[in-house]
Structure 1
Amino acid sequence: MHSSTVLTRRRAIAGAAGLYALPFGWGPAAAQGKGEPDQLDRILRSRVLRVAVPQEFPPFGFTRNGVVDGFDIAVARMLAGDLRVTLKIQPVASGDRLAALLEDRVDLIIASLGKTAEREREIDFSTAYAPTYMGIFGDASAGPADLAALKGRRVGVVRGSLEETELKAQAPQATAVAFDSSAPMLDAYVRRSIDAFAAGNVVAESIPDAAMRERIKRVAVLRQSPCYIGVRKREPRLLARVDEFLAHARSSQALMVNAMHWFKHSVSPEMFKDTKG
């Protein structure tokens, strides 16, 4: 690929996130081989990309003034722009993400999706696009920061999330309180109906209320939990095309700029190196 084409494509990816007002410069890949159309063929022929995004999980996805927005939605826009197709987003609850993909309601999952052995048996995963970790967060004046301090405490989790699974496995002495999304969970924390909450670090770091953020400390790290794009099994061309897009989005720094916008706090460029995993 010529250097001018690469530059145009990088600008196109960034443009889809609102970083540049430039037309897209890289057309869809031609179908390879013969036989039945695969998912990538169907997307390119219909010129529509259907993506499951977070329903109410700021900063990854949320509704503001009637418009769905957030980090994952921006990534979905960039990918649709790179494919030169129309984006059709479907906000879903955390527990409905895999079902939406497996039931062919969407083509991809871009919804703060973590990778587990159980999920890998059902779907395939792209390279990581948002290296994050899961933690438990609570009041900075609540004493020592460790899992033992959670004994008898009420800890909020999003129902069906990896945080819920990890909390129950690593801190069974805590009382897990499940919510349908992060917004009511954080509201319950503000009202002190729960003592702490389990979430991705960027969720805690992006709480709009600055005073509330200052009162929060990390009690424990549950696990490193990068975000991946979910793809149905036996769709190697679509998976390769998604990974190709992510490689360009990383090298153009479009992912980095997107993260700096939505995650608020300083993000190390090392997080967005073009690595597998």
Structure 2
Amino acid sequence: MAAPHSPTRRLLIAGATGLSTLSWTGASAQGTGKSDQLEKILQNKTLRVAVPQEFPPFGFTNKDVLDGFDITIARMLAADLKVALKPLPVASADRIPALLEDRVDVIISSLGKTAEREKQIDFSSSYAPTYMGIFSDANSGIADAAALKGRKVGVVRGSLEEAELKAQAPQATAMAFDSSAPLLEAYARRSIDAFAAGNVVAESIPDVAMRERVRRLAVLRQSHCYIGVRKQEPRLLARIEAFLSQARSSQALMVNAIHWFRHSLSPDMFRDGKS
């Protein structure tokens, strides 16, 4: 993990502060006569963001300070808006409720997009192309997902991985955890035989020896990450899109991914955000 003033952090900060030179005023939304969410953020000079709760490498607490891939994206967006960041760590199942109940302005918390979720909120273009899969030790004797019958497979409660695991591998015994940290602890203790998670979670296991032994048994689905916004907030969504566009072109997203996901990723993965 980079020190507070490491070259990696300086590059990320430089990318964040230089992302956008566009002028965005706090004027009321045209034709509505009332403030929209972007105006409220600018007036309050604070961006409230739902972020991961102990879900490394996306978000976790390090010496009482929040850090991680999504935390850095949230800092970059707040810097681009020239407002203070107020993060709210939430469990996966509480991300959308926090947004709908106006406890936060946006969600930046490894949020995947589904048809059901699109009925509730709007999504930005993707900022982190990832996939979710089932993983286990190379020496576990489990050759593929078909061999999971009777095996315990850890998954984060309320996540897309939980739904996909139950749909695609019903023969497995799903064991739900509140976050990825206790899930990986259970895997290290061999309390579970495998786990379903995003590929970056598997690639970022702190124990190097264990991480090197982990093998993918199956891909459950491609799972890009998006920023979530409440419905009928077109100005805020457009402002976020402008931020993401420049973060891609400046390679700030790429630098952030390489730092937190440990492995170099293809620049093509961050080119246009389409999915």
TM-score normalized with structure 2 length: 0.92
Aligned residue for 1:126?
124
Please state how far the C-alpha of 1:20 moved relative to its aligned partner: 6.3
Where does structure 1 differ by over 6 angstroms across 4 or more consecutive aligned residues? 20-25
Alpha carbons 1:27, 1:82 under 8 Å: kept: no
Please tell me whether residue 89 in structure 1 is matched to residue 87 in structure 2. yes
What's the secondary structure of 1:166's corresponding residue? helix
Alpha carbons 1:126, 1:239 under 8 Å: kept: yes
What pairs with 1:92-107 in structure 2 (closer than 5 Å)? 92-107=90-105
- 1:178 pairs with 176, 179, 183, which one? 176
Please state how far the C-alpha of 1:21 moved relative to its aligned partner: 9.7
Aligned equivalents of 1:43, 1:19: Cα separation in 2: 22
Please tell me whether residue 187 in structure 1 is matched to residue 185 in structure 2. yes
Aligned equivalents of 2:47, 2:76: Cα separation in 1: 11
Aligned equivalents of 1:132, 1:23: Cα separation in 2: 26
In the alignment, structure 1 segments of 5+ residues that lack a partner are 1-13
Aligned equivalents of 1:56, 1:37: Cα separation in 2: 34
| Same amino acid, percent of matched pairs | 71
Query: How many residues are matched?
Result: 264
- Distance 1:171-1:23 versus aligned 2 partners, 3 A rule: closer
Please tell me whether residue 33 in structure 1 is matched to residue 30 in structure 2. yes
Moved more, 70-79 or 28-37: 28-37
What pairs with 1:1-277 in structure 2 (closer than 5 Å)? 17-19=12-14, 26=21, 29-30=24-25, 31=27, 33-34=30-31, 35-143=33-141, 145-277=143-275
In the alignment, structure 2 segments of 5+ residues that lack a partner are 1-8
What's the secondary structure of 1:218's corresponding residue? strand
Residue 220 of structure 1 aligns with an amino acid whose one-letter code is A
> RMSD of the alignment, in Å?
1.8
Alpha carbons 2:16, 2:77 under 8 Å: kept: no
What's the secondary structure of 1:18's corresponding residue? helix
Please state how far the C-alpha of 1:240 moved relative to its aligned partner: 0.9
Please state how far the C-alpha of 1:24 moved relative to its aligned partner: 8.2
Alpha carbons 1:17, 1:77 under 8 Å: kept: no
TM-score normalized with structure 1 length: 0.91
What's the secondary structure of 1:59's corresponding residue? coil
- Distance 1:139-1:79 versus aligned 2 partners, 3 A rule: same
What's the secondary structure of 2:13's corresponding residue? coil
